[in-house]
Amino acid sequence: MQKKMHKQPGGLIYIHGLNERYAKLGKLHILKDWTLGCIAVTNEEIDELYKIINVGIKIEIRP
């Protein structure tokens, strides 16, 4: 996709929970792309990830 669009993916891609606007939607938040490139998961999912992954660890994202 990045080659097709002639753009670099950037380096500020985060995995995060849902803000107040989307929190009540839960998993339905995936119906709209609202993150500007980040990976959004439910707040419950981010809590689970926080328990098992050290803050600052590098994560490789593959298509």
- Is the separation of the CB atoms in 17 and 41 below 8 Å? yes
DSSP 40: E
Q: How far apart are CA 53 and CA 59, in angstroms?
A: 10
Q: Is the pLDDT reported for residue 1 higher than 60?
A: no
Q: Is the pTM of the predicted complex or chain greater than 0.85?
A: no
Rounded to whole angstroms, what are the CA distances from 57 to 14, 24, 41, 47? Answer: 11, 28, 17, 16
| pLDDT average, residue stretch 38-62 | 87
Q: Where are the domains of the chain?
A: 2-52
Q: pLDDT at residue 31 above 60?
A: yes
Residues composing the chain: 63
